[in-house]
Chain A
Amino acid sequence: MDWAALWLSMRLAGWTVAILLPVSVLMGRALAYRQFRAKGLVEALVMLPLVLPPTVFGFYLLVAFGRNSPIGDLWQSLFGHQLVFTFQGLVVASVIFNLPFAIQPAQRGFEAIPVEVREAASCSGMSPFASLWKIELPLAWPGLMTAMVLTFAHTLGEFGIVLMVGGSIPGETKTIAIAIYDRVQGFDDRGAATMSAVLVAISLFTIAVTYWLSARVGRRLS
């Protein structure tokens, strides 16, 4: 059992969720309430990672963040190290790749709030922030929770991009999914089986807890 790889995956998932939570609140809310011209395009862009193969993103990231690219250069001069083949690089890749999993359920959550409720909040003199904090977030909570859990679980399961831009560096970019792949290739069937079982258990547990939580919250609210 490669605990370091599991821990790395957990950290990656944790960071991805921490970064995507505010993003999904802002983007999900904007997409749910506002009508604007390019809305269809924005929604399509957000959904894109869901349908594109990871190899496409892997290739773009490798080229866009590589040492010959402006972004790669900028990162290098700011932080003094390369973006690809580092943990930070994986976080960036993971955030982009999880956009649909975070924003889509959040958007549905905000859309489910009746417009009268928001109008009532604003008529009672609540500031937009107070309305968000006291009215909308509690109501959109199941959507947000789903978004974060999907993001977390999906990051644990991410494989293709990590394989392409990670380089399987122990303790840096060797996630649990890559470690399992390596074990299979190393004919270590027992190791691969143990790690796979642990991953199944963790994923199942995480998703079950969400369903349980959102059902509970749903009952309280109704």
Chain B
Amino acid sequence: MIFNRHSILAILAAIGLATSPLAAQNDAPIVAAASDLQFAVAEIAEAFTAETGMEVRLSFGSTGNFARQIREGAPFQIFMAADERFIADLNTDGFTRDEGDLYAVGRVVLMVPNGSPLTPDETLDNLAEMLAAGQITRFAIANPDHAPYGMRAREALIARGLWEELQPYMVLGENVSQAAQFALSGNAEGGIIAYSLALAPEVAPRGAYALIPEEWHEPLRQRMALLNGAGPVAEAFYAYMKDSTAREIMERYGFVLPEDT
């Protein structure tokens, strides 16, 4: 009977799929890292594995989102936030092992894609002119409600007096990587993103950037901490982050490093 043969085959296929042995259980510790670290920390993790033979799994996303997930019990072992306030709050509520370490200070840049009418300059004068001339249709930043790079971008734009005028054209990324994606996709004239992303080999050829003056926004003090469930491999990676190899890589991606660790 055709029904039996086919349906049973289909059911068996479904169950077979479901119950077949899991791909080797991976218990490498998970590092939750702010998305401005996307390229830098991926490179550091590779170097770490090459040097020590130990492995970590990386999860990149918005700092605010990770903080929320950690509070709901996400099994991360290290949290590398883009803003130290999130670490301080988690520490107060007992989710981290200690107050953690400052690992980098980030910068923001105005990045414009190739072919955009905008010219990146440090003073954002050209942005103001283009805005007045009606040449801006879309401008991307990370969501300032929960993404630290979005908060700093907002502060910088407020300091420059462009925040209100840019409102109608603003598109918000869920995190700074998405903001960069929006800014460089060709659907926007530009955006304010992390310096570390602008310097990444995957991103740099797509446009030009100008560093935004540090005085225009609160410093992006990026802090990391071991979370309660951290094991020895996570501890090793945490220590590696403060080591010379990792520091060199972080510097190459435009991060300003704390003096000594």
Contact = CB atoms under 8 A, between A and B. Distances in A.
Interface residues of B, number: 43
Interface stretch (A8-16, A29-37, A39-47, A100-108): A8-16
A159 interface: no
Interface residues of A, number: 44
Given A11-B18, A14-B15, A217 B2 contact: yes
Given A14-B14, A145-B7, A186-B177, A4 B23 contact: yes
A82 B75 contact: yes
Given A138-B3, A186-B38, A217-B2, A18 B14 contact: yes
Contact of B14 (A21, A171, A186): A21
Interface in B69-113: 69, 72-76
A220 B4 CA distance: 13
Nearest to A220: B2
B35 interface: yes
B75 A85 contact: yes
A17 B17 CA distance: 10
B28 to A, nearest CB: 9
Contacts of B206: 187
Nearest to A63: B72
Contacts of A180: none
B178 interface: yes
B57 interface: yes
Interface string B52-67: 0000011111000000
A82 B227 CA distance: 15
B10 interface: yes
Interface stretch (A112-120, A121-129, A162-170): A162-170
Contacts of A17: 14, 18
17 contacts: A18-B18, A21-B11, A67-B72, A84-B72, A85-B69, A86-B75, A137-B3, A138-B1, A141-B3, A167-B59, A167-B76, A169-B57, A174-B59, A186-B202, A187-B184, A187-B202, A188-B202
Interface of B: 1-4, 6-7, 10-11, 14-18, 22-23, 26, 30, 32, 35, 38-39, 57-61, 68-69, 72-76, 175, 177-178, 180-181, 184, 200, 202-203, 206
Interface of A: 4, 7, 10-11, 13-15, 17-18, 21, 62, 66-68, 72, 81-82, 84-86, 137-138, 141, 144-145, 148, 152, 167-172, 174, 182, 184-188, 213, 216-217, 220
